[in-house]
Amino acid sequence: MARDGRKTNTTTKGRKLEVYVEQLFKDLGKWFVKRNVYYSFRSVLRDRVVRRVQVDVQYYDLYGKTIVECKHYDVWRVSAQAVEDFDDTVRLVKPSNALLITNSSLTREAQGLAEEYGIQVYDGEGLKMLDQERQGLRGIRKTLEEQLKDVDLRRYPREHYSIKRYVLV
């Protein structure tokens, strides 16, 4: 439930997780951390957009560009279809590293696909470990669930970043 007594919907919870992950990587010292990055792939021959993809969080470190897909589920686990959809985005954007972060867990098939595609996975336990690393650096003493509840989306506008790429089609 939200602070005013209303239920929070899954979209709001997902946005809160994205904001939380964005702040987590900023606190861990990553560079140029951005949330809601849209890639438009324009055809050079036809002069129109042929494909658009959205990346939840993107950052740079010593290894290059990393893209992150965030999945927030209360009851369900991340499916193999969600991993395949993220792999499509990875193939288009071509980052150095790809992360799938969820507060829950993955199905066995999804875990196998993530390993096959080279996508690094942080499930609920892995996310808590990342959070403990940050807490050691920042001195935060709250659980992951408390931090997600404390995210005030009014402080984080729905801004997005657009990047155009050109392809021969």
Give exposure, 148-157, as e/b (b: 16+ Cβ within 10 Å): bbebeeeebe
- What's the confidence (pLDDT) of residue 74? 83
* Six token digits for residue 73: 């589920």
Residues of the chain with pLDDT under 70: 1-10, 137-141, 160, 164-169
Residue 95 is predicted with a pLDDT of 94
Residue 32's region, left for phi above 0, alpha for psi from -120 to 50, else beta, is left
Strand partners, 98: 67
Burial class of residue 22, CB neighbours in 10 A (0-12, 13-18, 19+): buried
pLDDT at residue 6, as a whole number: 47
Rg for the chain, CA atoms, rounded? 17
pLDDT at position 8 is 54
Question: Helix or strand or coil: residue 117?
Answer: helix
Compute the distance between CA of residue 41 and CA of residue 124 in angstroms, rounded to an integer: 33
Domains and CATH numbers, the chain: 10-167 (3.40.1350.10)
pLDDT at 166: 61
Backbone angles phi, psi at 76, to 5 degrees: -80, 165
* Amino acid code (one letter) for 91: R
Could you tell me how many residues make up the chain?
169
Contact 81, 69 (CB under 8 A): no
HEC letters along 49-70: EEEEEEEEEEEEECCEEEEEEE
